Amino acid sequence: MRAIFTRLFIAAIFTAFFVQCEAQAQTCNGALGDPVIDQDFGAGANPGPPLPQGTTTMQYVTSSCPNDGQYTILNALVDSNNCHPYTWFNVPTDHTGNKNGYMMLVNASYEPSIFFTDVANGLCPNTTYEFSAYILNLNYISLITANYSQPNITFTIEGATGGGILATDTTGTIQPTTYNQGPVWVKYGVFFTTPADVSSIRLVMTNNAPGGNGNDFMMDDITFRACGPIIQDGFSSVAGVKSTRLCQGGNATYVLKTQVVGDNTPVFQWQASSSTSPWTDIPGATADSLVVPFTNAQPNVYQYRLGVANGSSISNVGCRVYSTPLTVTVNPLPVVPPFPDQTICESYPLQLTATGGTSYTWTGPGISPTSQNPLVINNATPANDGIYTVVAVSDSGCTGPPVSVKVKVIPKVVAAIKDT
């Protein structure tokens, strides 16, 4: 037990140094396009299937504890202590948090080597792209020795059919974290520009560190996305809000404004989507602003974004970069279930309870408007006979239609003595 505490104390000292020296990833500072290539390894039950032939020189195994020179595809690593106690993190989900999403677990070969290659087709010529991948150092600092190694990966982008090397970059040492910090996914990447005659590239990943003691990692979400200029946008102005809301049945007109920074001759195409439909070009919407009218708005989440050509024709969606989506959320009106007619006797309590909203306003005979819900009249009188109406307001501030209930108050029976 003392040895374990000593190792954790040493780990804490080393962590302070490691955090200060962590390398920065190359990522796009401007607008990004939709992923042209998105290798997320799929989803399903454990273990996942092996990678296509030629993708890696490592040996595929179905075990969640591969040995040096082996890999596996998992949606979670939850039993690491069975094979690497005090060394590997448990990783409950992939990078996106998808409990069924697969990720690649690599137990590095003893010698530095190429461990992953892939070809990306359908890229646009004369276009700048961001390649990125998320990597997690699987080892937490449990035992520091002279030969303890950490992942260090070089990414090389080259033309698949010529063009030579387009870009290369190295992650540097991917530092471990402590057990208390937990596993950390880090985005790494590199930029490259396709020549006029290149639409396919080859990605080569080289592990620069030896395996054996350490150098075990997870990898997920390998993507290629067009990278372009900064696009500023907002409602009414580029400094305006990014989202607004409207109530069902409402009418409104919004003006969406954009500004492209770093491109003197941009070409535009607006797109729209909703929670029930994918991104689709809006015919004729090719200016830097867009007028969006709503008449009798129906509940949904509506989004709008500006696509900008990035080195090729605007008609090719794979070559575009996009602004941050601007969102109009149309919230439904609260629905109060109908009430059956009520009949009570005079002096009895009257109680009316509305549901379907977060606040209510009751009106009716013999009472002032009130937010009390349930509405309670302890001693009903004939003056309380009549129609009661409630209006509900939802948590999004939308006011529903009035709902009424008829109340009949039966007067007391008064006994009378008749002289004979």
Q: How far apart are CA 30 and CA 382, in angstroms?
A: 71
Comparing 310 with 164, which gets the higher pLDDT? Answer: 164
The pLDDT, as a whole number, for residue 314 is: 85
Comparing 117 with 7, which gets the higher pLDDT? Answer: 117
pLDDT over 90, % of the chain: 61
Residue 164 neighbours by CB under 8 Å, 6+ apart: 158
Task: Please state the rounded mean pLDDT for residues 281-297.
Answer: 97
Q: How far apart are CA 241 and CA 231, in angstroms?
A: 15
pLDDT over 70, % of the chain: 89
Task: Please state the rounded mean pLDDT for residues 83-93.
Answer: 85
Residue 282 neighbours by CB under 8 Å, 6+ apart: 269, 270, 271, 272, 290
Task: Please state the rounded mean pLDDT for residues 140-158.
Answer: 81
Task: Please state the rounded mean pLDDT for residues 399-416.
Answer: 90
The pLDDT, as a whole number, for residue 23 is: 38
- The tokens describing 225, both together, are 């996305």
Q: Per-residue DSSP letters for 215-274?
A: -EEEEEEEEEEEE--EEEEEESSTTS-SEEEEETT--EEEEEEEEEES-SS--EEEEEEE
Pick the most confident of 4-13, 30-39, 388-397: 388-397
Predicted confidence band at 241 (pLDDT cuts at 50, 70, 90)? very high
The pLDDT, as a whole number, for residue 20 is: 28
Residue 274 neighbours by CB under 8 Å, 6+ apart: 300, 301, 302, 303
Predicted confidence band at 99 (pLDDT cuts at 50, 70, 90)? confident
Q: How far apart are CA 277 and CA 275, in angstroms?
A: 6
pLDDT in tens, 196-208: 888 889 999 999 9
Peptide bond into 374 cis (omega under 30): yes
Other C-beta atoms closer than 10 Å to the C-beta of 49 total 12
Q: How far apart are CA 385 and CA 414, in angstroms?
A: 19
The pLDDT, as a whole number, for residue 160 is: 84
Nearest to 139 by CA among 67, 84, 212: 84
The pLDDT, as a whole number, for residue 311 is: 65
What value, to the nearest 5°, has the Cα angle with vertex 387 and ends 385 and 388? 105
Name the 3-class secondary structure at 317.
Answer: helix
Over 80: is that where the pLDDT of 10 sits? no
Q: How far apart are CA 190 and CA 305, in angstroms?
A: 25
Beta carbons of 72 and 106 less than 8 angstroms apart: no
- The tokens describing 374, both together, are 């349930």
pLDDT in tens, 171-219: 999 988 888 888 999 999 898 988 888 888 999 999 998 776 778 899 9
Over 70: is that where the pLDDT of 28 sits? yes
pLDDT in tens, 359-401: 999 999 989 999 999 999 999 999 999 999 999 999 999 999 9
Beta carbons of 186 and 25 less than 8 angstroms apart: yes
Provide φ and ψ at 103, rounded to 5°.
-145, 160
Task: Please state the rounded mean pLDDT for residues 62-76.
Answer: 92
Other C-beta atoms closer than 10 Å to the C-beta of 178 total 15
Over 90: is that where the pLDDT of 260 sits? yes
Mean per-residue pLDDT of the chain = 87
Over 90: is that where the pLDDT of 84 sits? no
The pLDDT, as a whole number, for residue 144 is: 56
Specify burial of residue 110 (Cβ count, 10 A radius: 0-12, 13-18, 19+).
exposed
The pLDDT, as a whole number, for residue 264 is: 75
Over 90: is that where the pLDDT of 125 sits? no
The pLDDT, as a whole number, for residue 143 is: 60
